[in-house]
Amino acid sequence: MAALAVIAAIALAVFLTRPGKPNETVVVLPSADGHVGTVVVQRGETRQVLDQAYATSRSGEKQVVKLSDAEVKHDFGATLQALPARPTSFMLYFITGTDELTPESKAELQNVLAALKDRPLPDVLVIGHTDTVGELTTNDRLSAQRAETLKGFLVDIGIPVTRIRTAGRGERELLIRTADEVDEPRNRRVEINVR
Amino acid sequence: MRSMIALVLGAFAAVAAAADVGEIKVVRGAAHIERGKEQLPVKVGMPVQEADKVVTGADGNVGITFADNSLLSVGPSSVLAIDKYVFDSTTHAGQFDSTLSKGTLAVVSGKMVKQSPDAMRVRTPSAIMGVRGTDFIVKVD
């Protein structure tokens, strides 16, 4: 009888201290470019599809509701602000046969430098390319040289050299497909991936 | 030459060594990573690995960029486990599973969900989320 009472007491204690089910919230947000994708929330037998901006699923609620932009900022502002900067990429173009940027790309270079300065510790991948004028091996060298020139600009503004990788693709990866020995300005480029 | 390029690109995608799947980009307040039996203080530039657990204090926030450009922000008083992370930088195929057992998580999905819609899943104590190319927030109170 006493044993039974003890068991009953333990059972009661376990029941009382059992934590309640947590409240869960899932909110779909428009991305930086305005695109809204989908999150499918499977909770036991219940399946909710969130495919509109600010569509919200809460545990224990059958209906999908919508939060306001202000509510999201209020509840999740700090977390959203700690998201890393969005990865981005740039294309810069060169004067034929050289590693000198076109005047337009010299201006665009300022945007690249600004994007890099925004990041406390950026990762940069610079890939150089050429058009089909000249020998394959010459173009391999020229494309690598274009990438290195860009790397130099980045090092000059203080990006640690260890954070920059370069590659030269020569005329092997044309942006605009052409025959051999075609002077195509859009193929004389470097691609800069920043994150 | 081609294989060298692939190597360079692969290295960029994987951030550093083979086991590194992402990198800490933002740190605010108190936070650490549990890796096996170790408890490592987080700092900007620190690699993140599969099976890591990110733990934040009441004032903590941690932003992570992954190899496929998925972005995560772990909010205050949170525990997030990176259960699985695989990404092929050539095909963009991969799998990214994580579990938020408490706190707040903001996600910007990356390249792998563009390649295969079911590549990213987030678990909470009561639900499992499939992600189809979007930004979203999960909170477990």
With cut-offs at 50, 70 and 90, classify the pLDDT of residue B61: very high
Q: Among A170-174, B19-23, B40-44, whose mean pLDDT is lowest?
A: B19-23
CB B43 within 8 A of CB B27: yes
Which member of A22, A30, A43 has the closest CB to residue B135?
Answer: A30
- What is the C-alpha separation between A36 and A33, in angstroms, rounded? 9
The number of residues making up chain B comes to: 141
Answer yes or no: is pLDDT of B10 > 70: no
Q: What are B46-50's contacts with CB under 8 Å, separation 24+?
A: B47/B15, B47/B16, B47/B17, B47/B20, B47/B22, B47/B23, B48/B20, B48/B21, B48/B22, B48/B23, B48/B24, B48/B82, B49/B19, B49/B20, B49/B21, B49/B82, B50/B19, B50/B21, B50/B82, B50/B83, B50/B84, B50/B85
Contact criterion met (CB < 8 Å) for A84 and B26 = yes
Chain B residues touching residue A32 (CB < 8 angstroms): 135
Nearest of B102, B84, B104, B105 to residue B94 by alpha carbon: B84
CB B30 within 8 A of CB B56: yes
Which member of A21, A29, A123 has the closest CB to residue B136?
Answer: A29
* Pairs across A and B, CB distance < 8 A: 162
What is the amino acid identity at position B65? T
Answer yes or no: is pLDDT of B15 > 50: no
Interface ipTM > 0.95: no
Contact criterion met (CB < 8 Å) for B5 and A123 = no
What per-residue confidence (pLDDT) applies to A120? 84
**Beta strand ranges found along chain A (DSSP E):** 24-29, 38-43, 46-50, 55-58, 65-66, 88-93, 124-128, 164-168, 189-194
DSSP result, A36-82: --EEEEEETTEEEEE-STTEEEETT--S-EE--HHHHHHHHHHHHHT
Which member of A24, A44, A165 has the closest CB to residue B124?
Answer: A24
What per-residue confidence (pLDDT) applies to A9? 60
* pTM of the complete model: 0.81
Strand, coil or helix: A11: helix
Contact criterion met (CB < 8 Å) for B61 and A125 = no
Which member of B2, B102, B126 has the closest CB to residue A21?
Answer: B126
The whole-angstrom distance between B37's CA and the closest CA on chain A is: 27
Which has more confidence, B46 or B15?
B46
- What is the C-alpha separation between A150 and A166, in angstroms, rounded? 9
What per-residue confidence (pLDDT) applies to A17? 46
What per-residue confidence (pLDDT) applies to B9? 52
Tell me the mean pLDDT per 10 residues along chain A, length 195: 61 51 90 91 94 94 92 94 93 96 94 86 94 96 97 93 95 96 96 93
The number of residues making up chain A comes to: 195
The tens digit of pLDDT for each residue in B82-117 reads 999 999 988 999 999 999 999 999 999 999 998 888
What per-residue confidence (pLDDT) applies to A76? 95
Give the strand pairing for B120-123 and B135-140. unpaired
Answer yes or no: is pLDDT of B14 > 90: no
In angstroms, the Cα distances linking B94 to B75, B83, B108, B120 are 25, 13, 16, 8
